[in-house]
């Protein structure tokens, strides 16, 4: 699970760098797509962090029932 988290984080950083210092000329539509894609990755990263805490909590929560 942590590998997935690191992979997401690295992709977000790479996309930010690419948008700041493009490796080629992008069309306006491509830039728009890149911003949306990066935002989707950031949202996924935030959701994953929240759900990971909940999964860990449930994993170690004991019940007498």
Q: How far apart are CA 57 and CA 27, in angstroms?
A: 45
pLDDT digits (tens, 9 = 90+) for 11-48: 999 999 999 999 999 999 999 999 999 999 999 999 88
Q: Half-sphere exposure of residue 62, counting CA atoms within 13 Å on the CB side?
A: 1
Q: What share of the chain is helix, strand, coil (3-state, %, to 5)?
A: 80, 0, 20
3-state SS, one letter per residue, for 20-31: HCCCCCCCHHHH
pTM: predicted TM-score of the whole model, two decimal places: 0.73
Closest CA to 2 of 40, 42, 41, 56: 56
Predicted pLDDT of residue 15: 95
């Amino acid at each position: 699970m942590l590998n997935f988290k690191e992979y997401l984080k690295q992709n977000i950083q790479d996309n930010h760098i690419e948008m700041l210092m493009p490796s080629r000329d992008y069309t306006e539509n491509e830039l728009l797509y890149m911003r949306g894609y990066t935002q989707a990755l950031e949202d996924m990263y935030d959701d994953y962090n929240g759900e990971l805490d909940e999964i860990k909590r449930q994993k170690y929560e004991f019940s007498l029932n």
